[in-house]
Amino acid sequence: MRISEVFSLIEIIAMKKTFKGGVHPHEMKALTEKKAFEKMPAGKQVILPLSQHLGKSAVPIVKKGSIIKKGELIANGDGFISAPVHSPISGVVSKISQNPNLGGIYKDAVIIDVKEDEETDYLSALNPETITAEEIIERVKTAGIVGQGGAAFPTYVKLMPPKDKKIDLLIINGCECEPYLTRDYRFMIETPEKLIGGIKLIMKALGINKANIGIEDNKPEAIKKLNEKLSGQSEIEVKSLKTKYPQGAEKMLIKSITGKEVAPGKLPLDHGIVIQNIGTACSVYDAVVNGIPQIEAFMTVSGLGINEPKNLIVNVGTPINEILDYCGGVNEKAVKLVAGGPMMGVAQSDFNAPITKATSGLLVLTHEEAGDNEASNCLRCGKCVEACPLDLMPTKLARLTQLERFEEAEEAGILVCMECGTCTFQCPANIPLVQWIRLGKQSALKIKKEKQSA
Amino acid sequence: MDNAVNPTYRLELSSSPHIHSRWTVKQSMWLVNLALLPSIISAVIFFGIFQLSILFTSVVFCLLTEAAIKYLRKRQITLMDGSAVITGLLLGLILPPNFSLVSTAIGAVVAIALGKEIFGGLGNNIFNPALVGRAFLQAAFPVGITTWHQPNYALDSVSSATPLAALKFDKVLTDITPMFWGNISGSLGETSALAVIIGGLFLIFIGVVNWRVPVSMIVGMLIFGSIFWIIDPVIYPSPFFQLLAGGFMFGTFFMATDWVSSPLTSRGMLIFGFLISFIVVIIRLFGGLPEGVMYAILLMNAFVPLINKYTSPKIFGAEK
Ligand code: SF4
Ligand code: SF4
């Protein structure tokens, strides 16, 4: 039995909350966990992509030459799943044009030249005690709040579950199971009142009185701090979870906290659960109580390739290179730039791309961290199978994709894969398993759709 | 884009994940070789320093065969991945003391050529290559491979038969204690259970070997061995004797746990180990041969694809 399994066994005996499978990457959080959030001053320009969220792009309401105040609305959400965009600075619209986004694709963006100006144009401040659920949801919508870290899903939609689903539990995801990232940790340490205030508002919006904050046990300070602030009430409870990737994946988090398994094709909603991120809860508080729309990204800038790793508060729309320069620049060992965490983030090619509302991290990785990518034959060691938290057989799914046997791959569950990367991380033969699986998913999905429409 | 700002950046763009566990095939293979060291030492202690020539011959011919075949097939020569060295050491350690070096070399060539490369190299082979080599030698040199020698520090100066042969043909039961230390007759690396356990536990502890195969084999042996022992303790040996006898311990930790030729799934590994023990007990107690570990593992190797197929895990949350 390997060391980690001995621990798992002890945990099961001690009833520690966790899920089956998973891996233990080097945490690398020591690089930034002691560093308080620091506000990065505005540069000369911000580039505000109109699509910083999942769903339809926002529609601009400004023109070239429009004078903008900090916090002003510059683009409206379009349709049900969309989010408006606000300006993080005061300035003048210099143009609206195609600009590379974080995915490397050219998309419409409003470019604003910064003008020094203290004036702001925030929303009205609301009273959290007297506000109604509808008002909270409306505010979350108009403030353009989107989920932070993952897919940037518009938050207000998640606060309006279909009427036939009865919600009874809010889970706040404080796992921060991605290595390097420490921004959720800093939120919990620095502004626990704001976080708790935000959680209460979300609970009110959902009309429920029970919330759990799931935190990995490598953050004892955060657990202690929140427990202190929460003492004397029973609605919000902190759950200490085992430190293991991907503890923060929705299905894993739900399993660890409630013991329920969300079936393939089902949603947390089907189990009466809504999940929100730590940062999102803080944004909700700011939007309601201070009237501030989502115009800043709270992010960890880290990795051995950056000279001064930091936790930063950055204006949305700031180009990556300005942020890297602010962090002391990149050293010569850097080989990879990633937006997000090292397990699920996206590698970047363009230093001029702007960060968005949902950017939780920028990592500059060295060869030492990123490693080699040369793959050999599968040795059938079973490590990927043992590690997959969703109990898939990654080696088989990758193999079936290589053989273009997509229908069999679908039967074997390829569409269930959440692309957490655990299997690739663990494979001794260095096979890009999840990369193959991603490829196979697209074809399997197409075939499935064709079948359904036929 | 604006390269003037960052002229030196040249970036890799592969997709996530961007970090890796640092497990490599090479590292794992060399750790297995390291884990064989206690067994090599026990072979030297109990059978003399000359036995190293068997191991050396076996390793060298495994390496040469692999290099030659890779060269002929115009493939990259990957000797340093350590896998041919493992095959060489494993084969050498399951041969009898003072075994003919020529035969050893033949066994090594067969192990690599027919055990591994014929299937397309490491990862594609169905059977454990070292056992393929050993099975070939058993068929080709039936006398040589069952000619045993008394170990150094032997307690009983009469018998040079292995404990299993002594039991089968002479109805003599060997004492358990020397079987644990290794001062009994048997194959080079198989006699000392202690040495095997040290290496095996090391591999499990560092995570190269999955615990499920050895544990299920040992539990299986205790169960099946006990059944017969309880039926008639006079005719049948105790399960502890069975555990320590012959190649069982060595097979448990080093042969059945071979990544390539054992199952992928957790449940599959348990079934695999359990059935090996069952077959071993049946061969030992009712077959014509005194020992059955080699055949039991080879037989179960052949069933691995089937086991994988029927033990694929239930997808998280799915009802089935
Ligand atoms: S990426 Fe997919 S297959 Fe791989 S471990 Fe995660 S869920 Fe399993
Ligand atoms: S971890 Fe890699 S080598 Fe091992 S079975 Fe999976 S794909 Fe094959």
Q: How far is B175 from chain A (nearest CA, A)?
A: 30
Q: Do A427 and A334 reside in the same domain of the chain?
A: no
Q: Do A279 and A136 reside in the same domain of the chain?
A: yes
Q: Among residues A290, A306, A340, which one ends one of the domains? A: A290
Q: Do A276 and A298 reside in the same domain of the chain?
A: no
- CA A345 vs. chain centroid, Å, equals 9
Q: Among residues A253, A272, A290, which one ends one of the domains? A: A290
- Containing H/E element for A273? strand A273-277
d(CA B153, CA B295): 30
Integer angstrom CA distances of residue B171 from B107, B156, B163, B240: 32, 16, 10, 17
Distance between first and last Cα of chain B: 53
| Residue A377 belongs to a domain | no
Q: Decide if A428 touches B, using CB distance below 8 A.
A: yes
- Containing H/E element for A402? helix A394-402
Contact between residue B50 and residue B98 where contact means Cβ atoms under 8 Å apart: yes
- What is the CATH classification number for the domain harbouring A150? 3.40.50.11540
Give every CB contact of residue A231 below 8 A, 6+ residues apart in sequence. none
d(CA A268, CA B186): 60
Residue with the two structure tokens 């030729």:
B261
pLDDT at A15 over 70: no
d(CA A306, CA A285): 32
Tokens standing for B162? 């292995």
Ramachandran sector of residue A232 (left: φ over 0; alpha: ψ -120 to 50; beta: rest): left
DSSP β-bridge partners for residue A296: A315
Q: Do A16 and A64 reside in the same domain of the chain?
A: no
| Band (B6; pLDDT cuts 50, 70, 90) | very low
Give every CB contact of residue A332 below 8 A, 6+ residues apart in sequence. B8
Q: Among residues A340, A368, A396, which one ends one of the domains? A: A368
Q: Do A146 and A273 reside in the same domain of the chain?
A: yes
ipTM entry: 0.89
Domain total of chain A: 3
pLDDT tens digits, one per residue of A357-384: 999 999 999 988 988 768 888 999 999 9
- What is the CATH classification number for the domain harbouring A307? 3.10.20.600
pLDDT higher at A310 or B147: A310
Contact A347 B16 (CB under 8 A): yes
Q: Do A227 and A328 reside in the same domain of the chain?
A: no
What's chain A's average pLDDT? Answer: 90
- Return the residue whose CA atom lies nearest to atom 7 of ligand 2: A395
| Residues of chain A contacting residue B201, judged by C-beta atoms under 8 Å apart | none
- Find, among B182, B190, B73, the residue nearest to B131 by Cα: B190
Give this prediction's pTM: 0.90
Q: Do A297 and A283 reside in the same domain of the chain?
A: no
- Range A100-127 average pLDDT: 85
| Band (B225; pLDDT cuts 50, 70, 90) | very high
Q: Do A87 and A187 reside in the same domain of the chain?
A: no
Distance A423 CA to ligand 1 centre (A): 6
> How many Å is the Cα radius of gyration of chain B?
22
pLDDT at A32 over 50: yes
pLDDT at B1 over 60: no
Contact between residue B131 and residue B294 where contact means Cβ atoms under 8 Å apart: yes
Q: Which domain holds residue A354?
A: 37-116+293-368
pLDDT at B5: 42
Sheet holding A59-60, edge to edge: A59-60, A73-76, A85-86
| Residue A225 belongs to a domain | yes
Distance A417 CA to ligand 1 centre (A): 5
Chain B (40-99) residues lying within 8 Å, Cβ to Cβ, of chain A: 78, 81
Q: Would you report the helix, strand and coil content of chain A in percent, each value rounded to 5?
A: 35, 20, 45
Q: Do A247 and A146 reside in the same domain of the chain?
A: yes
| Band (A326; pLDDT cuts 50, 70, 90) | very high
Tokens standing for B65? 């065969």
Percent over 90 (pLDDT), chain B: 69
Ligand 2 pocket test target in A393, A430, A431, A436 with most atoms within 8 Å of CB: A431
| Residue A122 belongs to a domain | no
Respond yes or no on whether the N-terminal peptide bond of residue B7 is cis (omega within 30° of 0): no
| Residue A359 belongs to a domain | yes
Using DSSP's 3-state secondary structure scheme, residue A400 falls into helix
Whether residue A213 has its Cβ less than 6 Å from ligand 1: no
| Band (A330; pLDDT cuts 50, 70, 90) | very high
d(CA A228, CA A193): 11
| Residue A121 belongs to a domain | no
Integer angstrom CA distances of residue A134 from A73, A131, A273: 21, 8, 19
Q: Do A167 and A262 reside in the same domain of the chain?
A: yes
d(CA A200, CA B250): 61
| Residue A373 belongs to a domain | no
Give every CB contact of residue A25 below 8 A, 6+ residues apart in sequence. A179, A245, A342, A343, A425, B19, B21
| Residue A299 belongs to a domain | yes
Q: Do A199 and A256 reside in the same domain of the chain?
A: yes
- Structural domains of chain B, with CATH: 25-306 (1.10.3430)
Q: Do A65 and A81 reside in the same domain of the chain?
A: yes
